[in-house]
A and B are shown apart, each in its own frame.
Chain A
Amino acid sequence: MTRSLPGERSVFGPRAARLGLYAFLFASAAFFLLPLLLVISNSLKPMEEIRQGNLLALPVKPTFDAWLTAWKSACTGLECGGVRPGLWNSIKITVPAVVISTLAGALNGYALAQWKSRHANLIMLLVMVGLFIPYQAMLYPTVKILSSLSLFRTYSGIILVHVVYGLPYTTLLFRNFYVGVPEEISRAARMEGASFLRTFRSVILPLSTNILVVVAILQFTGIWNDYLLGLIFAGNDNLPMTVQLTNIVNNARGSASPNVNMAAAVITAIPTLIVYFLSGRYFVRGIAAGAVKG
């Protein structure tokens, strides 16, 4: 990894190249962090400071009042309980949906990559089609199917929808990973008498840690941040945080309070941030393993 690019030394020298690299990285970081800083700084302002209309100013008297309001007393439609109830809803939707879609994707991907059936490639192609069709186009049929199964606007319904919509993506990622795992390993397990599922569980899953983490994170972010599916399929008792956040922001009753809105937005985003921070190491490793398309 210490190999330098051919032009690097001759034109700039390694030191200048390093400096340029860091300058670019800092600029990119600032570009992405600025909106977040604005949101956080404004969420810490009391309403008087907000009314002065100076968005870029730092809070003079920082206060967590807006955060408290957003957390437990902001009005989401008729109820005024903040985003707090949504947090639990989001967790109970996201966790099982992530676990199921990731493991099922791993199983699918493994089967498609290593147990060559005659139509494996055709099946993979069909799965890929699922990636290209936008959710919006599938909403109506999905609603019809779920209502005929009496799952529309139920807890199991929303999890099923997330799992099904996530499967093409997770299957693709795992398939691409498992294509790179030598087929002889599966064959060796078969020689040892292990069944398909036993091989998957004892031999294949333990060597998939990196890709499992990557896929789980991608699924976690996707499902946690989902709004559309939650709004339509979750039902009133299970509305996720994102839906409640929108309701707070769009609440027509009472005066607008941007500081509360921003605080609610940050609270909603915190879990994904935590997940990224905790697993960043694996995530980068997984990407480096050539597992992620983008």
Chain B
Amino acid sequence: MSSVSIRKIRKSFAGLTVLDSVDMEIAPGEFIVILGPSGCGKSTLLNVIAGLDDCESGQIVIDAVDVSGLEPSQRGLAMVFQSYALFPAMTVRRNLSFGMEVAGTPKPTIVQKVDWVAKLLQIEALLDRKPGQLSGGQRQRVAIGRALVRSSSICLFDEPLSNLDAKLRAETRVELKQLHETLKSTMIYVTHDQIEAMTMADRVAVMHKGRVEQFAPPQSIYEKPASLFVAGFVGSPAMNLLEGSLDGAGRFLVGQRSIGSSAYPFEDPSTAGEAVLGIRCEDIDVVEPGSPDSIPAKLAFTELLGADALGWFDCLGKRMSVRLGVDAARSMRKEVGLRFDMAKASFFSASTERRL
């Protein structure tokens, strides 16, 4: 267990800023997921933490020691790569033991460690095979094993599940989470998959254009996105967004209509001006058209998802998604009213795109 502190990391590549003053404080034993679309700098950040890439300025501090100038192997961390990056000419056993051989670990210790990790990940039967003879899922396990075998106090994961099929991905996700509970090492996990982020993380750092947009527990990222980007990126279907303006007196105006916004916990209730209202599909109720505080809407189509359903409505010039029960979706009428649960909604400033 180690703490990691990332301080003002800045990196640019050919005039393009890849990391723009990234700060993050990670407590010992935390499972941190760095989430973002491709090109947001998340993998670069991981490589900088690992020491595989240099940064222009800033510090990486592990357990109060500045490791910025140290080689990856001196930082006491392990890493799982997206393509697994197993050593093709070595058997699984040697893949696992190579790092310890390099470090000059005594033979009996190596054997003991390899046996331990092979048992932990149930890859004992594969030890004498070469990576080329393994399936994708097995290679993944070996790659994870190679990272765990030296009992590093920090493990880095670079989109480790993205090459697996959906079923295996779901299984491995659960296993990784359990491994974390058992080993209690600090884990930093990069992904573009929000389900991985939501299910595994203690805290999620959402990155966008080289910046950390929000660094918070997954549920509060979902419920209280700190910026318009986070609101649009996290959640499936994406959060419904309505542009309009706040009048500073408890109403949100969209075109000719207005919605009462007094239930929303504003930091400053008198905030006025251009704003964007974000509301999740499950925070909208379908009501009789013309009910108080409702907005008329027209059903476009419904999607049955098995356990529940999504209704897509044309409302205030936007297509909005509403989560429905399957039966309600089957008997949905064309003309309805939508009522927003403003206590659970989000307001963003149109200019700064930050949460109000």
State the A residues within 8 Å of B (CB).
Answer: 182, 184-185, 187-194, 198, 202-203, 206-207
Contact = CB atoms under 8 A, between A and B. Distances in A.
B60 to A, nearest CB: 15
Contacts of A184: 81-83, 85
Interface residues of B, number: 22
Contacts of B78: 191
Nearest first, the 10 closest Cβ-Cβ pairs linking A and B are A193-B73, A206-B89, A192-B99, A184-B85, A188-B85, A184-B81, A207-B89, A193-B102, A203-B87, A207-B88
Contacts of B281: none
A188 B79 contact: yes
A115 B86 CA distance: 18
B1 interface: no
B147 to A, nearest CB: 8
Contacts of A192: 73, 98-99, 102, 146
B87 A191 contact: no
Contacts of B82: 184
**Most-contacted residue by chain A among B52, B81, B85, B99 (CB, 10 A):** B85
Contacts of A198: 102
A191 B72 contact: yes
A191 B50 contact: yes
A191 B49 CA distance: 12
A158 B52 CA distance: 42
Q: For A187, A192, A193, which residue has the most chain B Cβ atoms within 10 angstroms?
A: A192
Interface in B101-125: 102-103
A193 B103 contact: yes
A206 B98 contact: no
B98 A194 contact: yes
Given A188-B85, A202-B87, 14 more contacts: A184-B83, A184-B85, A185-B85, A185-B86, A185-B87, A185-B88, A188-B81, A188-B87, A190-B71, A191-B99, A192-B102, A193-B72, A194-B99, A198-B102
A187 B102 contact: no
Contacts of B99: 191-194
Contact of B79 (A182, A191, A203, A206): A191
A210 to B, nearest CB: 12
B67 interface: no
Given A193-B99, A198-B102, A187 B52 contact: yes
B100 to A, nearest CB: 9
Contacts of B103: 193
A189 B98 CA distance: 9
Nearest to A183: B85
A188 B88 CA distance: 12
Contacts of A190: 52, 71-73
29 contacts: A182-B85, A184-B81, A184-B82, A184-B85, A185-B86, A185-B88, A187-B52, A188-B81, A188-B86, A189-B87, A191-B52, A191-B72, A191-B73, A191-B77, A191-B78, A191-B79, A192-B73, A193-B71, A193-B73, A193-B99, A193-B103, A194-B98, A194-B102, A198-B102, A202-B87, A202-B98, A203-B87, A203-B90, A206-B89
Contacts of B89: 203, 206-207
A31 to B, nearest CB: 40
A176 to B, nearest CB: 18
A203 B73 CA distance: 17
Nearest to A205: B89
A278 to B, nearest CB: 22
Contacts of A193: 71-73, 99, 102-103
A88 B98 CA distance: 42
A191 B147 CA distance: 9
A193 B101 CA distance: 10
Contacts of B72: 190-191, 193
A187 B99 CA distance: 12
Contacts of A202: 87, 90, 98
Contacts of B73: 190-194
B107 to A, nearest CB: 17
A293 to B, nearest CB: 24
